[in-house]
Structure 1
Amino acid sequence: MDGTDVIIVGAGPVGVLLSTELALSGASVQVLERLAAPDRTIKAGSINIASAELLARRGLLPELRAADERTRERFNEFYNSVGREWLRGMPARRQRGHFAGFMFDDNLIDDTDSDLTDHDAATNAIMIPQAEIERILNDYAGRLGIEITRGVTVTGLDSEREGGVTVHTDSGDFSAKWIVGCDGGRSIVRRAAGFDFPGTGPEITGRQAIVTIADPEKLEPGWTWTSNGVYCHGPLPGRVLTAEFDGPPVDRELPVTALEVQESLRRVSGTDVTVEALVGDATRWTDNARQTSTYRNGSVLLAGDAAHVHSPFSGQGLNLGIADAFNLGWKLGGVITGRCSVEMLDTYTAERHPIGASVLAWTRAQVALLRGDAKTADLRTVIADLLGTRDGMTYIYKRATGLQLRYDLPGKHPMIGRLAPNVTLSDGTYLHDYGRSGGFVVLDRRSGSTSTTTSVTTTDSVTTIVDPCTTGPRLMVIRPDGIVGWAEGD
């Protein structure tokens, strides 16, 4: 499609979300996807608070909360079926996630910590499977009129053409000024454009599926470490996960069968549990951990798993990709519409690459804690002791929420470079309610204002809120990706 500003390869959650961010900025965009229909395979089981708040800024909070409610009802269904409550008597409704199988204990997390109290608007909108996130984002993209072309396989690209890129597919060529590869860990775009992809190779083969089990009482609910690996039973009915330290699978392309899942469960659990059937598609994965050294090569950019891969433990890959899309969307959109110089795109790698590297380290640490040898078992005992303290549990939980993200931006105010806090305005609305247009938001509470009520004006993609409240920062400028670009005052 000649004349298109951006072609996005890949219609997973990152590609679709990026398309909506570009559309809000005024750029024209087309999404090309190999699969004929959205992928319903079981993948990540939740998003973190930072991702939920970013999506809430686009008006998606009601849909996220409804999906969260449905998921937690299924959690309770599972624990009722096995006759167990969640951790230390805590109902499954309060489940918050885990680190290497150590569940986040609601009784130990310090919810009065300022990092958490400033971000409580979307805490009940996080327990959402990836398939549900994709459904919500596809509906959102449809409302914005975004074109997603499915059943098209990209075979290569030519970025030598002056002023743009030609994408070669099995359905013909497509042309645009820019291309973004959101096509996963084995990205064709990344390879065709010559990006590097250094990192560490895989140690494990993991499997995840929803199954029917003839004798579920033979499996412990939750996470269980053994000398042969680790397995998880629940918290969704029929959901099982195994990880074995036997190297990568021989052929990741082969379909996962019920027999394969059963054999893996038996090896790891040491039981003769019987898997009767798969319910939907199962997945096979590894802990391959790699990251390209730059997220941009001329007119070609990468986001999500195309730029970085790692093990799926604690679902950080989906969150990392969501933040990539928000960070890149407004910058590339600004370049296309002339609001930003092309040098703005250099900040995409500068800001996102360190975060990606941190997440790779986070996931490698979890893999290390899952090994079945005696020394690692001793290490888990030490970690368990640390996570049994209020400070230890709060620290690890805050890392997982994504709320400790900070970009190195000019200015001394502690909010600069961080995700904007959940500010309640004088009229009872919330700051995140004003991010739906995808532009900048300015919160003005300086003493010179004569306003006695909250007033809102929008001009040239900037929404200015003059609020008479006397608490909080006097002036705060929030970027389209929810990051505080400038702040003054308390």
Structure 2
Amino acid sequence: MQAQVAVAGGGPVGMLVAAELAGYGVDVVVFETRADVSERPKATTLHARAVQCLARRGHLPPGAADGPGGAAAGDFHFAGLPGLAIAVPPTEPVAILKTSQAQLERHFEARARAAGARVLRGHRVTGIEQDREGVRLKVEGPDGTTVCEARYLVGADGARSTVREQAGIASDTSPATVSALTGLVTLEEPEALPGGFLRTPRGWIVSKYQPGRGTSIRTLDCRAPAGDRHLPVSPEEFRLEVSRIAGRDVAMGQPRWLGRFSDYTRLARTFREGRVFLVGDAAHVHFPIGGQGLSAGVLDALCLGWKLALAVRGEAGPALLDSYDPERRTAARRVVENTRAQLTLMRPGPEVDALRSVFAGVVAADRGLLGNMISAQDTVLPGYTQRPSPGEGTFLANMPLTTPEGVTDVIGLLRDGRPLLLLLGDGASRHRAAVRPWEPAVRVVEPARPETGPAYDAVLVRPDGYVAWSSSSSSSSGGGGGLGAALSRYFGAGRGTGPGTGSSGRAPWIS
């Protein structure tokens, strides 16, 4: 078997990588151990920056972008303290998208298959070897052992990643210090547990009623880690733990599923080793407070996808793939740190009680610091060009734009997967000659200057929505190395059209 890119692991993050790559016309194959999508409840939250990037790539589930924007868009929590506002610009989709991990996996798989990806369920990657030309995978499937040769491999195979281990990627880890249980049960008295966070002197309970399914419950005991975190949870152990923390007997029927988790932390020391890349839980694992894990994995996939696709198509600068690790490992480290900080606030003790009291006021009065951190809207990418221009690495907010073809917006212009050069000011035409060698692989749009928006007269936007280069009318070169230098750095030598583009220059993306 041969492919341009192989993806080990077909959860929502792996399927999103495959959808992105296949949408660019890359030959991609996914190997997933499970025969079917797991209905076991896991992550249910996508935060604002993940939602915004998915919207720009056209991957949001139907109807998911509907909802209010603006300052009161999302009501969340920090370390179990309620009232944290997650604010988004009014032109953006919802601040917090609540959807099950299973639904996202199905949606991304459908998009991957529709774009031409091969998805092989019931197949496990058990060994890899790589050299300068590619990666050789050993795959166990229903019909025995298969060998797959690919130019690149993406490890999306979870916390116990075989790809990470086989690639020899070391990790920084911290051992578990708490014990936590999770389950989906039917309560004999539904009102026995209030919805949301319940804190008692004995620990924490987080519960949420799911109509037609039961009540999802998580417990947290900060006294010590579990003796064996891989030991199955019995129904009686779960009932007794919930009752102990609640301080009263909580009767429940036979659970639909049970499990353990902890604050064990892992951060891979690199997210790239040669032709092997890590995304999602294969790259980073942390305590799940704040619902940031799924969003972090989605942002991994969207950061890597377009870069890897352009590399396969021969349209990437020589160092573009190297930018994946510093961009996403830095972001993952911040998630690890803030989840540790939140867990510290959840521990028992009079000193922590005093700290929680102070933080309750901080959360209530937050003006974006904590909310933007949790939702990843404060992410600024490290400089990539040799002489960074103003705004490089920031996220370009969506805004309406009037073009010769009609009214559109930034989200709509990015959906075909091409980098976008917006010529917004009266003097922006001077940049046309610089971009011409990269057209039509780079989409150039000269809309009427928006009434509100960034103070740029020209801005180069990456497919994931981040600013690659910008220019103002007061700067002849864009405040950095100039547009041509930025284009060369990101997209290699200009050639007019590149492999994988049609006569219109559009990436073969599905609508």
Considering the TM-score relative to the shorter chain, is it more than 0.5?
yes
The alpha-carbon distance between structure 1 residues 256 and 189, as it changes in their structure 2 partners (threshold 3 A), is: same
Q: Give, in whole Å, the separation in 1 of the partners of 2:258 and 2:290.
A: 18
Q: Give, in whole Å, the separation in 2 of the partners of 1:274 and 1:393.
A: 42
Q: Give, in whole Å, the separation in 1 of the partners of 2:36 and 2:61.
A: 25
Give 1:432's aligned residue. 411
1:407 and 2:381 correspond = yes
Per-residue CA deviations over 1:92-134 (Å, capped at 9, x if unaligned) read x96533211122345xx7x5xxxx32x6421266122222222
Query: The residue matched to 2:13 in structure 1 has which SS?
Result: helix
Matches within 5 A, 1:24-423: 24-61=23-60, 63=62, 65=64, 96-105=75-84, 116-117=88-89, 120-123=91-94, 126-160=97-131, 163-171=133-141, 172=145, 173-234=147-208, 236-237=210-211, 238-279=215-256, 281-389=257-365, 392=366, 394-409=368-383, 410=385, 415-423=391-399
The alpha-carbon distance between structure 1 residues 125 and 369, as it changes in their structure 2 partners (threshold 3 A), is: closer
Give yes or no for contact 2:74–2:95 (8 Å, CA) kept in 1: no
Q: Give, in whole Å, the separation in 2 of the partners of 1:312 and 1:123.
A: 21
Give 1:479's aligned residue. 462
Query: The residue matched to 2:97 in structure 1 has which SS?
Result: coil
Q: 5+ unaligned residues in a row in structure 2: which ranges? A: 430-435, 474-511
1:7 and 2:6 correspond = yes
Question: How far 1:61 moved relative to its partner?
Answer: 4.0
Give 2:507's aligned residue. none
Deviates more, 1:401-410 or 1:233-242: 233-242
Q: Give, in whole Å, the separation in 2 of the partners of 1:246 and 1:7.
A: 43
Give 2:425's aligned residue. 446
Query: The residue matched to 2:34 in structure 1 has which SS?
Result: coil
1:465 and 2:437 correspond = no
The alpha-carbon distance between structure 1 residues 379 and 125, as it changes in their structure 2 partners (threshold 3 A), is: closer
Give 1:78's aligned residue. none
The one-letter code of the counterpart of 1:13 is P
Q: Give, in whole Å, the separation in 2 of the partners of 1:243 and 1:393.
A: 29
Question: How far 1:407 moved relative to its partner?
Answer: 0.8
Question: How far 1:191 moved relative to its partner?
Answer: 0.7
Per-residue CA deviations over 1:262-299 (Å, capped at 9, x if unaligned) read 222112221211121324x3442111112111111112
Give yes or no for contact 2:73–2:94 (8 Å, CA) kept in 1: no
The one-letter code of the counterpart of 2:267 is Q
The one-letter code of the counterpart of 1:318 is L
Q: Give, in whole Å, the separation in 1 of the partners of 2:324 and 2:166.
A: 21
Q: Give, in whole Å, the separation in 2 of the partners of 1:248 and 1:13.
A: 29
Q: Give, in whole Å, the separation in 2 of the partners of 1:128 and 1:223.
A: 20
Give yes or no for contact 2:15–2:109 (8 Å, CA) kept in 1: yes
Larger helix share, 1 or 2: 1
Query: The residue matched to 1:338 in structure 2 has which SS?
Result: coil
The alpha-carbon distance between structure 1 residues 414 and 232, as it changes in their structure 2 partners (threshold 3 A), is: farther
Query: The residue matched to 1:191 in structure 2 has which SS?
Result: helix
Aligned length: 448
Q: Give, in whole Å, the separation in 2 of the partners of 1:286 and 1:197.
A: 18
Q: Give, in whole Å, the separation in 1 of the partners of 2:96 and 2:415.
A: 17
The one-letter code of the counterpart of 2:418 is G
The one-letter code of the counterpart of 2:245 is V
Q: Give, in whole Å, the separation in 2 of the partners of 1:261 and 1:464.
A: 58
Question: How far 1:35 moved relative to its partner?
Answer: 0.9
Question: How far 1:42 moved relative to its partner?
Answer: 1.2
Give yes or no for contact 1:105–1:393 (8 Å, CA) kept in 2: no
The alpha-carbon distance between structure 1 residues 94 and 330, as it changes in their structure 2 partners (threshold 3 A), is: closer
Q: Give, in whole Å, the separation in 2 of the partners of 1:249 and 1:11.
A: 29
Give yes or no for contact 2:420–2:442 (8 Å, CA) kept in 1: yes
Q: Give, in whole Å, the separation in 1 of the partners of 2:273 and 2:318.
A: 13
Give 2:485's aligned residue. none
State percent identity of aligned pairs: 31
Compute the RMSD of aligned alpha carbons: 2.6
The one-letter code of the counterpart of 2:51 is A
Give yes or no for contact 1:257–1:278 (8 Å, CA) kept in 2: no
Give yes or no for contact 1:61–1:122 (8 Å, CA) kept in 2: no
Give yes or no for contact 2:8–2:153 (8 Å, CA) kept in 1: yes
